[in-house]
Amino acid sequence: MHPHSIVPGRLRSATVRATALAIVASCAALAADWVNPVLDKFPTAIVCTTGLRVTDTTVTVGQLHSVTGTMAISETGSVEAERLAIKQINDLGGVLGRKIEIIQEDGGSDWPTFAEKAKKLLIKDKVGTVFGCWTSASRKAVLPIFERENGMLYYPTFYEGLEASKNVIYTGQEATQQILWGLDWAHKEKGAKTFFLIGSDYIWPRTSNKIARIHIEKHLKDCKVVGEEYYPLGHTNFNSLINKVKLAKPDLIYSVVVGGSNVSWYKQLKAAGITGPALEAKKQMLLTISTTEDEIRGIGGENVEGFYACMKYFQSLPNENNKKFVEAFKEMYKDKYGDKPVIGDVTQAAYLGPWLWKKAVEKGGSFDIDKIAAASPGIEFAEAPEGYVKIHANHHLWSKARIGKMRADGQFDILAESELIEPNPFPEGYK
Amino acid sequence: MLTKAVTVIALASVAGYSWSEIREITIMQGFAGVSLFSVFLLMALGLAIIFGQMKVINMAHGEFLTLGAYTTVGVGTLAERFAPGLFAWYFPVAVLAAFVVAGVVGLLVEWVIIRHLYKRPLDTLLATWGLSMIMQETFRQSFGARETSVTMPEWLMGSWQPMGGVDIPINGLFLLVVTLVMTAAVILNMHKSRMGLRVRATTMNRDMAGAVGINTRMADRMTFALGCGIAGVAGAAFTTIGSVSPSAGSLYIVDTFMVVVLGGAGSIVGTILAAFGIAQAQSILEFFLSGVLAKVFVLLAVVVFLMIRPQGLVAGKIRK
């Protein structure tokens, strides 16, 4: 300090500090604008006029799946796939320049809990959209809430159709895309004429089997249904049912058993001598629409070898998109699954959700639900792991169906593939 | 079983099946009933001992079952990794381990929680309910929420075919053997050993038993541990028929309580009879009706029976 300076030392160092601060602040301001020019084009006030949780740099979405309970075996994959998609989107810069943040809630395999958490996400958290649900029961529980609060749900599971809400985008197949083509294939390729329908006791299996029955009895030649049985979710004792199936000797056992019950069902089938090879020797087969790689992981591949499934996606699909997707999934979850991750049909459909949402937001230029709903029909996603998909005006996806045969290692051999099937959730003559 | 056989034959012959097919199905269905009986009995045995001898309502019984199942999974994984040559023999070891682990945890639980609540049956209900939730969440945190499955050794897979067309699942037979051995062991223990004598004395007249020098506290503790150990064995046996998840215990607990209450508190013979009755009824009804309806009718029948005879099938010592 110079004792002869005109400005006292204290004041001078304060001035220096203040100037430095001002320079830094203006640099930061300029930098912020420079880093995020998107804000000029998509200011928050314009892209979000309905009070959703959108800021200049972030947008918040909700995840509503069962992480506990009997459905956890199936829904954990969906959670992981959605998080992978969101991470990939964030790495590309986010949606309209905003990074996606997640609020996750656990439905607990309990439908009233799903409804309660949906209310919380939509009313309290005001999330931009929700990726969630798996069973039809959970979807039916939350649907009134989404319609009343005008939210948007991306629903990943193959389901029974008979629904087309403007507040839901259905990224899974509906019944006509999955059930009808599969039954036609079994009838044509395997000569199946008698069918035994089995399911868990709630809306999806019952409606699916109803549609299957109508198709078998009215649209397939000389075919009939020789048995139809339902057991509660979580049921573990199928011995009597297996005896009944043996007595009925159907050409095709149509299994719509859901969730954890699958483990008991297939283990007891094997213990009773009903295996893929055994059925094949007697010109019979088992076709399921509810068992994916996720469930087989819990069942054990050696218990299901030789059974058939009809889905739109299998982890072993040989296209380029799928190879990249499986690699990315393996990389993100290698601590949890080592190098053997398991990706089922619903997991892939859940992966589509965030991407389709991003495209709808960018096409409509807004996070508002009405604009997303208006922008969605016609959106195409050619990089989907299952191949090309397009959103239909009824909020479902154009997609292909495939038949896979289960292998002992838990993966599928793909035997047949359909053309792109147009979604038709209200098929004539099936109600 | 005879009436069931007759009805099956009558209906089946109407439907146009051959005599040998009817015979095969009857045998297999009969075995399905016996298999279900062994499941119920194994679950209910532990609870009957605890409830009968100590009047403790253990709502966490299902979780001890799950504990036994997870122990089995653990032993199986260890065997796979460290002793693949001995893998075929890991199962009996696992069953033993399940008994010990569940028994030890039961001992701890009794010492920490239950012994303070003997005079208060409603409070034990609440305390064990809370314990069951704690245990479920611990399983969830330690093993993950997803269902795990244990790879069964070769000799337990598949079915036994005594005659053409009849498939008796081997794991069902194994379950039956385990149940019979456990039940025999429990009955022998109760009636032929010193420990059983002490336990029976404590149940009949606690004060007098204490007065003649029996350590009633130790008797209770051992009984609780034994009951939990049996639940552990049940859990180990169930890995062969189903999957293991943190909430697997809650699937069985309702049926278990039903068997124990129907059998009459405190009577092992009553438990056996009740398990047999409910299992056969459910099995037969499942065969002729649908799965859900069968359960409904069985439950209704149990309710009606208990309304007529509240003390259950075999009335044990009722404390007025």
Candidates A194, A256, A184; CA nearest to A215 is A184
Q: What are A267-297's pLDDT values in tens digits?
A: 888 878 888 898 988 899 999 999 988 888 8
Q: What was the ipTM of the complex prediction? A: 0.73
Looking at residue A263, what is its pLDDT? 84
**Residues on chain B touching A76 (C-beta within 8 angstroms):** 145-146
Task: Give the whole-number percent of chain B exceeding pLDDT 90.
Answer: 17
* Domain residue spans of chain B: 34-143+168-246
- Whether the domain at A58-173+319-399 and the domain at A176-311+404-417 fall into the same CATH topology: yes
Q: What are B67-96's pLDDT values in tens digits?
A: 999 998 888 888 877 877 777 778 888 889
Pick the CATH number of A58-173+319-399 from 3.40.50.620, 3.90.1640.10, 3.40.50.2300, 1.10.730.10: 3.40.50.2300
Looking at residue A431, what is its pLDDT? 64
CA atoms within 13 A on the CB side of A39: 14
Amino acid at B70: Y
Name the burial class of residue A383, with classes exposed (0-12), middle (13-18) and buried (19+) by CB atoms within 10 angstroms of its CB.
middle
Q: Reply yes or no on whether the pLDDT at A385 is more than 90.
A: yes
Candidates A288, A218, A220, A278; CA nearest to A252 is A288
CATH class of A176-311+404-417: alpha beta
Q: What are B208-225's pLDDT values in tens digits?
A: 988 998 888 888 888 899
Candidates A172, A218, A184; CA nearest to A431 is A218
CA atoms within 13 A on the CB side of B255: 25
- Determine the residue among B14, B22, B136, B167 to mutate to test chain A binding: the one whose Cβ has the most chain A Cβ atoms within 10 Å: B167
Instruction: Answer yes or no: are the C-beta atoms of A176 and A421 closer than 8 Å.
Output: yes
Q: What is the residue-wise DSSP string for A70-98?
A: TTHHHHHHHHHHHHHHHHHHHHTT-BTTB
**Average of per-residue pLDDT across A148-160:** 93
Q: What are B125-148's pLDDT values in tens digits?
A: 899 999 998 998 888 878 776 667
Q: Reply yes or no on whether the pLDDT at A153 is more than 60.
A: yes
The B-side interface with A (CB below 8 A) comprises 12, 17, 21, 25, 28-29, 31-32, 35-36, 39, 140, 145-149, 151, 157-159, 161, 167, 169-172, 240-243, 245-247, 251, 283, 286-287, 290-292, 294-295
Report which DSSP code applies to B12. H
Looking at residue A25, what is its pLDDT? 59
Q: What is the rounded CA–CA span in Å between residue A332 and residue B245?
A: 25
**B167–A273: do the CB atoms touch at under 8 Å?**
yes
Instruction: Answer yes or no: are the C-beta atoms of A239 and A268 closer than 8 Å.
Output: yes
Would strands A285-288 and A252-256 be described as parallel, antiparallel, or unpaired? parallel
Candidates A62, A57, A100, A55; CA nearest to A79 is A62
**Residues on chain B touching A268 (C-beta within 8 angstroms):** 169, 241
- pTM comes to 0.78
* Domain residue spans of chain A: 58-173+319-399, 176-311+404-417
**A239–B283: do the CB atoms touch at under 8 Å?**
yes
- Residues constituting chain A: 431
